[in-house]
Amino acid sequence: MKFASTIRAAALVTAVALLPVTTASMAAVDGRAGSEFGKLFAVYQRIKSSYVEPVEDDKLVRGAIDGMLSALDPHSAYVDGSSLQRLTTLIDGNYQGLGISIQGEDGAIKIISPMRGSPAEEAGLKAGDYITHIESKLIYGMEIDDAVAQMRGPAGTDITITIVRPGRDDPFDVTVTRGVIELEPVTHELQAGNVGVISVNEFSRDVGNDVLDSIKALQREASGRLGGIVLDLRSNPGGSLDEAVALSDLFLSKGQIVSQRGRTRGENVSYRAETVFRGDVVEGMPIVVLIDAGSASASEIVAGALQDQGRAVVMGERSFGKGSVQTLLPLSRDSAIKLTTARYYTPSGRAVQEGGIDPDITVPQLSDPDAAKRAKFRYRESDLRGHLINEAAITDKDLEKDNQDDPRFKLTAAELKDQGIEDFQLHYALETLRRTSKTVVASSGAE
């Protein structure tokens, strides 16, 4: 596939292709475009001659490029230097810092999600929080790379950041002790009732094989036949398209996994299950996929594929809605543009962009005491200024489900804590699979 590298961008991780840009294609403009470029040059000349201070050409050109790309959508951008290096280098080992994914929004820094088990999560940072100060210094308008550089540092050192949290009146300081962020894309655990939980934290290299290894390990650990699998994609910002396809292919015997469509023929690609080599590795075993508002990009590809193929029940909350493809187009040896070139579609033809994946069963995170308060401040692709529009996009109002009458949905966070339930969404998924497993066993015995 042409997606040559996996990137961890400052906001969401996505698959990026490397394609050349020819001088001829860059130079080809029609008469109308030439007129518009005349305006651009006139502004350049006026600034050079009349601005209160001398301005270097590279600053003006960079500003013009940034302006053009930011006018398109939130994910198209000009990258060079350290930004380009971060985009084109696959993160395999570890780094020292806080462990958060962030997004620039109108000059502010917004947390997409803290990584599971990271110092940021342990310190109580949450998706949707805004970082306004680092060590009491205002960072509004700061470049993402500069903010990332300030937050990273030796493990064991402290950093104090100021947080503005929707639903809370006043800003507050949080001191986080930096740690070594071990990039464990896949973890697994066997739960009671022979139900396996596989957590996929990001779609970096070899995630498909890592999930397969987890399945085999769970099958060895189970006392008897494995009764079901919870595939936990919550707060997973995405990653390699290839790995999303590989993971989906583990559970599908045939059919389409995902397609992408763009303006050029080369961007129209369909990815299908490789039935000749693999098939469904768990042979129809019940699967629940957990998603939430932090599940984006590659996570949505997997959830949408398994949902449309009828292979899994999707539970949780509507996903982020990052359904666009970014291609990295080199301009020179040390600069490039990251340009949105296509949209993703699920096997049934649903556009992932903006609307995201609607779960089959909406399950709130009741074990979070602040969940209800923050619900109206959920942060998704549709909240980004200038995002690509999907006319068929759904809204939270569309997600009202009959299962909200379930008596378990009436429990408070305190009541759940008294019952020893730390993660209600996971608990609900496990209980569903256990009931399914018992029903299957009972039916087999009757025969």
Of the two residues 180 and 385, the one the predictor is more confident about is 180
Q: Could you tell me the maximum CA-CA distance found in the chain, to the nearest angstrom?
A: 89
pLDDT at 321 over 60: yes
Three-state DSSP string of 353-391 = CCCCCCCCEECCCCCCCCHHHHHHHCCCHHHCCCCCCCC
Q: Would you tell me how many other CB atoms lie within 10 Å of the CB of residue 141?
A: 10
Q: Please report the pLDDT score of residue 222 as a whole number.
A: 93
Q: Regarding predicted confidence, which is higher, 195 or 126?
A: 195
343 in helix, strand or coil? strand
Mean pLDDT value of segment 304-325: 93
Q: Are 242 and 300 in contact (CB under 8 A)?
A: no
SS3 407: helix
Residue 319 has which token pair? 């996903």
308 assigned to active site: yes
Q: What is the pLDDT of residues 139-181, one digit of tens each?
A: 888 877 788 888 888 889 999 999 998 878 899 999 999 988 7
pLDDT of residue 374: 52
User: Average of pLDDT values for 233-238?
Assistant: 88
- The one catalytic residue in 210, 232, 242, 308 is 308
Distance (Å, whole) CA 121 – CA 129: 12
80 catalytic residue (yes or no): no
Residue 432 DSSP SS3: helix
Tell me: pLDDT of 200 over 70.
yes
| Cα–Cα distance for residue pair 237/321, rounded to 1 Å | 11
CA distance 13 to 297: 8
pLDDT, residue 177, reads: 94
pLDDT band at 370 (very low <50, low <70, confident <90, very high): low
Question: How many CB atoms sit inside 10 A of residue 371's CB?
Answer: 15
Average pLDDT over residues 283-309: 94
Q: Tell me the residue type at 433.
A: L
Put simply, whether the predicted model's pTM sits higher than 0.75 gets the answer no
Of residues 359 and 378, more confidently modeled: 359
pLDDT surpassing 80 at residue 259: yes
The answer to which of 214-218, 265-269, 311-315, 379-383 has the lowest mean pLDDT is 379-383
Instruction: Supply 392's token pair.
Output: 């068929």
Instruction: Please give the pLDDT value at position 60.
Output: 94
Share of the chain above pLDDT 70, in %: 75
pLDDT of 188: 95
Contact 352, 322 (CB under 8 A): yes
SS3 427: helix
Q: Is 138 exposed, middle or buried (0-12, 13-18, 19+ CB in 10 A)?
A: exposed
pLDDT number for residue 197: 97
Mean pLDDT of the chain: 80
Question: In the predicted model, is pLDDT for residue 401 greater than 50?
Answer: no
What the block records as the tokens of 279 is 């098939």
Where are any strands of DSSP class E within 204-312?
Answer: 228-232, 256-262, 269-272, 287-291
Domains of the chain: 94-182 (2.30.42.10), 186-446 (3.90.226.10)
Rounded Cα gap, residues 173 and 160, in angstroms: 6
Token output for 34: 């030439």
Q: Is the pLDDT of residue 333 over 90?
A: no
Q: Please say if the pLDDT value at position 2 is more than 50.
A: no
Any bridge partners for residue 270, and if so which?
259
Q: pLDDT: is 182 or 18 the higher one?
A: 182
Q: Which helix (H) or strand (E) holds 439?
A: helix 424-446
What burial letters (b/e) apply to 268-301, b meaning 16+ CB within 10 Å?
A: ebebebeeeebebbbeebbbbbbbbbbbbbbbbb
Please tell me which residue in 113, 118, 214, 297 is annotated as part of the active site: 297
pLDDT on residue 16 = 44
Residue 297 annotated in active site: yes
* Segment 378-400 mean pLDDT: 54
Please give the share of the chain, as a percent, with pLDDT higher than 90.
Answer: 38
Residues 65-113: tens digit of each pLDDT: 988 998 898 888 888 876 676 655 444 445 678 888 787 777 788 887 7
Q: Which of 31-45, 55-69, 187-201 has the lowest mean pLDDT?
A: 31-45
Q: Spot the catalytic one: 204, 322, 338, 437.
A: 322
